[in-house]
Amino acid sequence: MPAADFKDYYKILGVSKSANETEVKRVFRKLARKYHPDMNPGDKTAEAKFKEISEAYEVLSDPDKRRKYDQFGQYWNQSGGAQPGGFDFDFGQYGSFDDFISELLGQFSGFGGSPSSNSKNTSYSYRTSTSSSPGFGGGFQDFSGFNAPSISADSEAELRLTFTEALQGVEKRLTIGGAETITVRIPAGAKPDSRIRVKGKGQINPLTQSRGDLYLKVKLDSHPFFRFDKNNILCDLPIAPDEAVLGAKIAVPTPTGTVSMNIPAGIKSGQALRLRGKGWPQPKGGASDLVVTVQITPSPDLSQAERELYEKLSTLRRFDPRANLPTH
């Protein structure tokens, strides 16, 4: 190997020549996480760096190869070690990068085994690295039932709840990987798109052999009356024309029961009234507000007596709601 092509594996990993196997392994894991293509999608520089540190680790983690490398330097390949270019990555032979990294880690003496077979066939859609064509590259895609190892062992799945379940809290039994059943306590006041962490129920990290966390993203069934606006709850309240004119005391549904609310005389359609503390439960106690939007709703079916009274009112009415409209 020409001197210009000599690779200083100690310099590549950033360790001294006296570094022991544990130190070499620790530094490699740190660099592997930093330059892993999953963490740098589409970055060819990171891809090249990852291959370079992997090549260095393959040599320095093997006592026989390291001894020859230390003894013969740039000519170590010619002393019976790996042939020049022997550490070559043919990404085309792998269906995804996860297949490649599984085989790569299995070859390194410092890493043990592959993910447990009972982690497959999961009922959740995990986010994992893939490519739009065979081999390495591409972005991210969701695979239902695919639980290959990745640098981030955390997983995410949707959890659909009814309005009442989210409001009051509930226990849910979930199946992970088709075999493991867990019970998850959903606290009262879970909001749409909030995430609930289930510690230690994610995937297995092939670098550390530790298990990540499972994050459940809450999805709520729609409610016929209430809707969310950040922390608060909104609703539309129909009132009759006479209630708008004269004012009234009206029973209003809230998430936790019915309360009485005063409608001020002369209220306009679309005007909002706020019921403080009658909205959604909050993590630190109490509740958010319920914002009630008034909708003046005339009767679709007037009786003869009602019609006569409205006609009489029309002749007596002095107020012109269109008096201030422009004339041209």
- The answer, yes or no, to whether residue 124 has pLDDT greater than 50, is no
Percent helix / strand / coil, the chain, rounded to 5: 30, 25, 45
User: Could you tell me the domains of the chain?
Assistant: 3-88 (1.10.287.110), 117-220 (2.60.260.20), 227-316 (2.60.260.20)
Rounded Cα gap, residues 68 and 202, in angstroms: 41
Q: What was the pLDDT predicted at 41?
A: 80
Instruction: Give the mean model confidence (pLDDT) for residues 311-325.
Output: 92
Q: What's the pLDDT tens digit per position in 144-177?
A: 343 433 457 888 889 999 999 999 999 999 988 7
Q: Which of 84-93, 216-225, 254-263 has the lowest mean pLDDT?
A: 84-93
- The answer, yes or no, to whether residue 120 has pLDDT greater than 90, is no
Residue entry with tokens 């936790």: 256
Q: What's the pLDDT tens digit per position in 274-286?
A: 999 999 999 888 9
Q: What was the pLDDT predicted at 93?
A: 53
Could you tell me the pTM of the whole model? Answer: 0.53
Instruction: Give the mean model confidence (pLDDT) for residues 68-93.
Output: 56
Cβ within 8 Å of residue 241, ≥6 positions away: 296, 298
Q: What was the pLDDT predicted at 101?
A: 53
Q: Which residue has the higher pLDDT, 77 or 245?
A: 245
Instruction: Give the mean model confidence (pLDDT) for residues 175-187.
Output: 87
Instruction: Give the mean model confidence (pLDDT) for residues 208-217.
Output: 88
Instruction: Give the mean model confidence (pLDDT) for residues 17-23.
Output: 90
Cβ within 8 Å of residue 275, ≥6 positions away: 252, 254, 259, 261, 289, 290, 291, 292
Q: What was the pLDDT predicted at 65?
A: 86
DSSP 155-222: EEEEEEE-HHHHHH-EEEEEEETTTEEEEEEEPTTPPTT-EEEETT-S-B-TTT--B--EEEEEEE--
Rounded Cα gap, residues 9 and 16, in angstroms: 10
Give the sheet arrangement for strand 214-220, strand by strand.
155-161, 214-220, 195-198
- The answer, yes or no, to whether residue 131 has pLDDT greater than 80, is no
- The answer, yes or no, to whether residue 119 has pLDDT greater than 50, is no
Please choose, from the candidates 28, 110, 16, the residue with its C-alpha nearest in 3D space to the C-alpha of residue 63.
110
Q: What was the pLDDT predicted at 78?
A: 56
How many other CB atoms are there within 10 angstroms of residue 253's CB atom?
15
